[in-house]
Amino acid sequence: MTNKPLAGINVLDMSWFGAGPIAGRALANAGARVIKLETEKRIDGLRAMAPRPKGARGYNLSGYFNNYNSDKESVTIDLTSEKGYELGLKLIQWADVLLTNMTNRATDQIKVDWETIKKVNPKIVAAYMPMMGATGPYKDFQGFGAMLTAICGMNYLSGFEKNRPVGVGTNYPDYVVNPMHAYIAILSALRIAKKTNKGQKVELSQNESSIASMSLPLFAYDNAKIKHQRLGNRVAFAAPHGVYRCKDDEHGNEKWITIACIDESHWQTLTKIIDNEQLTKQEFNNLESRKKAEDQIDKIISEWTSGLDHLQAQATLQDAKIPAGVVQNAQEVTEDSHLSQRGYFVSLDHVEAGARIYDGTGWKMSQTPIGMEKAAPLLGEHTFDVCTTILELPPEEIAELVAEQVLF
């Protein structure tokens, strides 16, 4: 769609797994032409990962890969060969943006480091996303979201008091913080490039990007030497603040609701709704006293919610302007009527994986269309087209390069 906001921007996506490809998908969903440069010699590991249709095998079926690479094209070139590297440099000349989350050693090894490519295309915005940044004693560390949540401090605060640290249940930095920071940085650099006709290097340390989401415990320590500890579902600045069990559903599945009384008005309203005289005690009329009696208060709230349908409890509390929400599993999220009405999930028909739902963009624009239109590419699906239209190779030369395994 040519009237999308990034129509006319060309992106060479040399990233893999999560954070890089999601940033590339955001650019593609906004209208940029994104070519994913791959090789059969080292497949993007996400192509080989589940989930996939039961019993199916192959590099084009991963739900993860297909979700994070919609609206892109795939070209397979062996950059480790001399001829393949020359083709790669021609694609860099074509591109407005280069995107990679390879390690610093890998970008140096295949000679796509900034010092090299800026000579090939001085106007390019080159976004590098090494896990720990391009400098420092840990610059060659390898890892992904599950490691980042530990290093940046998330895991230390996850779990219950006196228990060991636990993961946060998802590789959160890979899916949200890092790709969106990269997306914003690339757009900023593109704006400067348009003004100055000069490109620049964008360096995003995935660790530092992840730490940005940990401001509360970090600043609490810096300002008051307060060391936040694992509190389960509780927080230091509110009470009650927790997850409470409701009535099981008709199939015997547990149902839960979160309730967070952030200020005194929430607390006063909650006591009226629950109508338990123990909660109206004068000793609970401030945060400090409620924190000391959290176990007692949580027990009373749990007794109240245990007799309620979770959706009924949510409606009652939200109608009273108390922050509350049901705990949903993956099936419930995909079937959520609110998301359905807003058209968040997008259904695309993939030639091998079939019809599947994909994440939406996460934002809408009132005047400019944005969102995905095409399913993820098959491995090397667009190699011939890119070779003929961008690299301007004749068919006979393409055939020779395929025979030499420069192209796949």
How is the chain split into domains, by residue range?
10-204+340-403, 241-332
Calculate the alpha carbon distances from 395 to 41, 120, 383 in Å. 23, 26, 12
* Percent of the chain with pLDDT strictly greater than 90: 92
pLDDT value for 54: 84
Q: Which of 67, 73, 66 is nearest to 91 (CA)?
A: 73
Handedness of CA 291, 296, 297, 298 (dihedral sign): positive
Q: What distance in Å separates the CA atoms of residue 326 and residue 335, rounded to the nearest whole number?
A: 14
**Which residues partner with 258 through β-bridges?**
243, 325
The SS3 call for residue 88 is helix
- What the block records as the tokens of 274 is 């629950």
In angstroms, what is the C-alpha Rg of the chain?
A: 25
At the top level of CATH, which class does the domain 10-204+340-403 belong to? alpha beta
| Phi-psi category of residue 10: left, alpha or beta, with phi > 0 → left and psi -120 to 50 → alpha | beta
pLDDT value for 215: 87
At the top level of CATH, which class does the domain 241-332 belong to? alpha beta
Choosing from 13, 174, 275, 298, which is the catalytic residue?
174
Query: Which segments in the chain show pLDDT lower than 70?
Result: 1
pLDDT value for 284: 94
pLDDT value for 53: 84
pLDDT value for 231: 94
Is 71 one of the catalytic residues?
no
pLDDT value for 1: 61
pLDDT value for 342: 96
Name the pTM for this structure.
Answer: 0.95
